[in-house]
Structure 1
């Protein structure tokens, strides 16, 4: 059964900006390694490897991986449980019973804030589960709903 809810399409912009910044760091490291290779007369395969990495990483990190990650991420919040599906090559599905939820919060970093997005973090005793980059209003409503359902479940126990 396919989960119904998907994160915001604006998430792609945020993840692509982050991918571009990661590529910039790689390019800086590549330039430094190339300079060191020339200075210390290291083997030429280092230059080739760094150039190949500098060409492949932008395609993967800016275009392909964010698109696959966005398409595969799904979630569904029901009265008794939260189900999250994520992954790029290996798809993982997590089921979180509402009675295990300890608290719920929304987070916004600078990139998410620019695009009016927020992540919802659901904390249990064991770990924190994240639903990344929802529209800000949707994230607030989801936080309120999960909080209400989790407290109702705790009262019934």
Structure 2
């Protein structure tokens, strides 16, 4: 088996994922508040409120603090001459090898939250799938996009 990928995404990616967790938590809390209001009008048991509050706290802790840290710790990538290796996951860790000869194009994407933290993500497209490397610094993303593009051209010429 190949050695583990060595490159890690930016530590700022952890902050970005936590911001996404806050947004997700607000949406979940609004839904749970709506359920709480509905249970009030239907005169349901008071223990339902305790369950709703417990679910809200658990969701907040996992979405903002626990899951982003686990995802960041597991995310690794490596670009080699013959392939790109990705390793990521939350509970189930996936390792993906993308052969350079299969790479069709490489995109760099930067949304408003990533832009605020000077980060970008790279999407590597093959005929069948799109693989993404999230939370790279802008400079690293540009350099990686150029490197993958050059290696994919060389791999295509060799075929």
TM tier relative to shorter chain: over 0.9
Equivalences for 1:1-157 in 2 at 5 Å?
1-157=3-159
Between the two proteins, the alignment pairs up a number of residues equal to: 157
CA distance in 2, matches of 1:87, 1:133: 15
CA distance in 2, matches of 1:8, 1:77: 16
Instruction: For residues 110-137 of structure 1, give each alpha carbon's deviation from its aligned partner in whole angstroms, at most 9, with x where no partner exists.
Output: 1100000000100000100000010000
CA distance in 2, matches of 1:147, 1:52: 49
| Runs of 4+ more than 4 Å apart | none
CA distance in 2, matches of 1:64, 1:143: 30
Secondary structure of 1:152's counterpart equals: helix
Shift of 1:52: 1.1
CA distance in 2, matches of 1:155, 1:99: 9
Q: TM-score, normalised by structure 1?
A: 0.96
User: Which stretch shifts more, 28-37 or 92-101?
Assistant: 28-37
Unaligned runs of 5+ in 2: none
Shift of 1:43: 4.0
Unaligned runs of 5+ in 1: none
